[in-house]
Chains A and B, each alone.
Chain A
Amino acid sequence: GQNIDQPTEMTATEGAIVQINCTYQTSGFNGLFWYQQHAGEAPTFLSYNVLDGLEEKGRFSSFLSRSKGYSYLLLKELQMKDSASYLCAVRDYNTDKLIFGTGTRLQVFP
Chain B
Amino acid sequence: DSGVTQTPKHLITATGQRVTLRCSPRSGDLSVYWYQQSLDQGLQFLIHYYNGEERAKGNILERFSAQQFPDLHSELNLSSLELGDSALYFCASSVVLAGGTDTQYFGPGTRLTVL
Residue numbers of A with Cβ under 8 A of B are 31, 33, 35, 40-45, 48, 50, 87, 89, 94-103
Contact = CB atoms under 8 A, between A and B. Distances in A.
A43 B56 contact: no
Contacts of B55: 95-96
Contact of B48 (A45, A95, A101): A95
A100 B43 contact: yes
Given A95-B48, A100-B43, A41 B108 contact: yes
Given A40-B88, A48-B103, A97 B108 contact: no
A98 B107 contact: no
B42 interface: yes
A38 B43 CA distance: 14
B108 A42 contact: yes
Interface in B73-115: 88, 90, 94, 97, 101-109, 111
Looking at B40, B43, B107, the one whose CB has the most chain A CB atoms below 10 A away is B43
A44 to B, nearest CB: 7
Given A96-B48, A97-B48, A100-B43, A45 B103 contact: yes
Contacts of B42: 87, 100-103
Given A40-B111, A98-B43, A33 B90 contact: no
Nearest to B46: A97
Contact of B45 (A41, A50, A98, A101): A98
Given A95-B55, A95-B56, A97-B58, A43 B48 contact: no
B17 interface: no
Nearest to B91: A42
A97 B106 contact: no
28 contacts: A31-B101, A33-B103, A33-B104, A42-B2, A42-B107, A42-B109, A43-B43, A43-B106, A44-B106, A45-B104, A45-B105, A48-B97, A48-B101, A50-B101, A94-B56, A95-B56, A96-B48, A96-B55, A96-B102, A97-B45, A97-B56, A97-B58, A98-B33, A98-B104, A99-B45, A100-B43, A101-B42, A103-B42
